[in-house]
């Protein structure tokens, strides 16, 4: 038996939706993208949505919209995917890392010490689909000592009047925190619809706006759309109408719009996301939990607390007391049984791209410890009970041989 890590679900409904778009006469950004934006606004309860070609593009547009530039600092967890830090560097700003807690999410109690007069944004990451402690984060930003440190130097920063919370919500569509949905927990949130994520459109993403009342989120939505399409004052659909040829370029914008082919996939998946995809993913988590509970070495991921509900994106198991070398050997043995597992994530201080910042792994001890023990198990829509059993057999055998 072979178990892949997370192939996307694919069925006739999705194929038909793509074909329908291909033959509709409109394949780039158009009516289906607009419809997906409306559906995402409804689904999350956010104020407005812009669909893009990735979550990364959404994060970068948000930083650029806020006017983040050289000399500015952006706080993010040491434990995340590279995209979170890369977009900060694209803007010329400096990523400032904060250690995580036992749950892999940024440790809010450690953020204050990282805030300086240069801090413009905090980018929490809802790892594996489990929301960050957003209320604690808001309380921190409301503290007079923190407010005093904020030095705005762009129109949007002045209007906001405090550090912005920009959620890397790449994992967390469908999660909630104290009854509020991911997408409405930060000022701006960016979802990913990449092929391995919960709601795949091949490539894709969306930013959801939940800015405070001094902002007109529909106007901000328009600004993001213009930014995502060269700075063009009209999109392709508007331009294609008879007499609609003249437009302006209002700024040197970017090119990261979503196509209607991708949006067609998103519409199919979003409609059945809660009733089908999340139900299936929960059942996979529950089956793994039931099979692992009796093993003392298994540190099982928490997917629900009193305040938080995960959307079951990644099954982040830890092997108690494993060293990095033991974990790696366990993975080799599991792989020999044709089971694909992963490590989420290699903390940023370990990566070559960030060496100019001189991050030291020992300054982020929880991230370092979590990483050494972490193995992510396969979770996907079509996984069978037999495959789940095979994964656990391979894992148990490997751990017993190595530890």
Ligand X SMILES: *Cc1c(COP(=O)(O)O)cnc(C)c1O
Sign of CA dihedral 154, 61, 35, 22: positive
* Choice between 104 and 303, CB closer to ligand X: 104
Task: List residues bridging with 168 in a β-sheet.
Answer: 125, 190
Q: Give the Cα separation of 298 and 303 in Å (integer).
A: 15
Q: Give the Cα separation of 330 and 317 in Å (integer).
A: 13
* Choice between 112 and 203, CB closer to ligand X: 203
Using rule CB under 6 A, residue 84 touches ligand X: yes
Shortest distance (Å) from residue 171 CB to ligand X? 6
289: which residues sit within 8 A by CB, 6+ positions away? 300
Using rule CB under 6 A, residue 128 touches ligand X: no
Using rule CB under 6 A, residue 81 touches ligand X: yes
* Choice between 229 and 399, CB closer to ligand X: 229
Of 32, 47, 194, 327, the residue at the interface with ligand X (CB under 6 A) is 194
130-189 residues near ligand X, rule: CB under 6 A: 168, 170-171
2-61 residues near ligand X, rule: CB under 6 A: 54-56
Residue 189 in tokens: 């949130």
* Choice between 187 and 398, CB closer to ligand X: 187
Between vectors from CA 378 to CA 331 and to CA 56, what angle results, nearest 5°? Answer: 100
Compute and round to an integer the Cα radius of gyration of the chain: 22
Torsion angle, alpha carbons of 123, 124, 127, 129, to 10: -100
Three-state SS at 363: helix
Of 51, 68, 78, 83, the residue at the interface with ligand X (CB under 6 A) is 83
Of 125, 175, 298, 388, the residue at the interface with ligand X (CB under 6 A) is 125
Shortest distance (Å) from residue 23 CB to ligand X? 27
* Choice between 64 and 171, CB closer to ligand X: 171
Greatest CA separation for the chain? 72
Strands of the sheet with 298-299, listed across from one edge: 298-299, 315-319, 374-377
Shortest distance (Å) from residue 124 CB to ligand X? 10
Using rule CB under 6 A, residue 315 touches ligand X: no
Shortest distance (Å) from residue 170 CB to ligand X? 4
Q: Give the Cα separation of 166 and 151 in Å (integer).
A: 18
Return the DSSP state at 253. Answer: -
Pairing of strands 188-192, 164-168: parallel
Shortest distance (Å) from residue 191 CB to ligand X? 8
CB neighbourhood size of 223 (10 A): 17
**Residues 330/402, Cβ–Cβ less than 8 Å:** yes
* Choice between 122 and 402, CB closer to ligand X: 122
* Choice between 54 and 387, CB closer to ligand X: 54
Stretch that binds ligand X, among 77-85, 103-111, 317-325, 380-388 (CB under 6 A): 77-85
Residue 160's Cβ-side half-sphere holds a number of Cα atoms within 13 Å equal to: 28
Shortest distance (Å) from residue 244 CB to ligand X? 31
Using rule CB under 6 A, residue 106 touches ligand X: no
Of 21, 41, 49, 80, the residue at the interface with ligand X (CB under 6 A) is 80
Shortest distance (Å) from residue 96 CB to ligand X? 17
* Choice between 197 and 390, CB closer to ligand X: 197
Number of residues that this document lists for the chain: 403
Using rule CB under 6 A, residue 192 touches ligand X: yes
**Residues 78/98, Cβ–Cβ less than 8 Å:** yes
Shortest distance (Å) from residue 54 CB to ligand X? 3
* Choice between 133 and 168, CB closer to ligand X: 168
Residues making contact with ligand X (CB under 6 A): 54-56, 80-81, 83-84, 125, 168, 170-171, 192, 194, 205
């Amino acid at each position: 038996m072979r178990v892949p890590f997370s192939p996307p679900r694919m069925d006739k409904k999705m194929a038909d939706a793509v074909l329908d778009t291909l033959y509709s006469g409109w394949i780039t950004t158009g009516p289906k993208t607009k419809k997906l934006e409306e559906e995402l606004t409804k689904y999350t309860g956010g104020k407005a949505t812009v669909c893009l070609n990735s979550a990364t593009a959404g994060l970068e547009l948000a930083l650029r919209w806020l006017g983040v530039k050289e000399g500015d600092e952006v706080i993010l967890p040491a434990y995340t995917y590279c995209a979170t830090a890369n977009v900060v560097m694209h803007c010329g700003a400096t990523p400032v890392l904060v250690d995580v807690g036992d749950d892999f999410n940024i440790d809010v109690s450690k953020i204050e010490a990282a805030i300086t007069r240069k801090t413009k944004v905090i980018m929490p990451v809802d790892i594996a689909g489990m929301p960050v402690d957003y209320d604690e984060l808001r309380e921190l930003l409301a503290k007079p000592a923190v407010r005093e440190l904020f030095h705005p130097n762009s129109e949007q920063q002045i209007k906001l009047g405090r550090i912005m919370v920009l959620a890397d919500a790449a994992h967390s569509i469908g999660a909630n925190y104290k009854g509020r949905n991911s997408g409405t927990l930060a000022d701006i949130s960016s979802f990913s619809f990449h092929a391995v994520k919960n709601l795949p459109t091949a490539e894709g993403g969306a930013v959801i706006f939940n800015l405070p009342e001094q902002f007109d989120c529909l106007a901000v939505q328009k600004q993001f759309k213009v930014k995502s399409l060269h700075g063009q004052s009209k999109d392709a659909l508007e331009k294609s109408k008879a007499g609609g040829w003249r437009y302006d370029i209002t700024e040197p914008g970017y090119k990261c719009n979503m196509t209607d082919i991708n949006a067609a996939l998103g519409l199919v998946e979003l409609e059945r996301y809660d009733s089908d995809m999340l139900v299936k993913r929960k059942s996979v988590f529950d089956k793994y939990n039931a099979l692992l509970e009796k093993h003392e070495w298994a540190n099982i991921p928490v997917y629900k607390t009193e305040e938080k509900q995960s959307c079951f994106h990644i099954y982040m198991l830890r092997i108690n007391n494993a060293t990095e070398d033991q974990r790696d050997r366990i993975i080799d043995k599991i792989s020999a049984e044709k089971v694909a597992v992963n490590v989420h994530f290699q903390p940023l201080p370990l990566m070559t791209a960030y060496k100019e910042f001189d991050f030291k792994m020992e300054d982020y001890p929880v991230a370092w410890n979590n990483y050494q023990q972490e193995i992510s198990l396969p979770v996907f829509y079509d996984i069978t009970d037999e495959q789940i059993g095979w994964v656990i057999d391979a894992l148990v055998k490997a751990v017993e041989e190595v530890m």
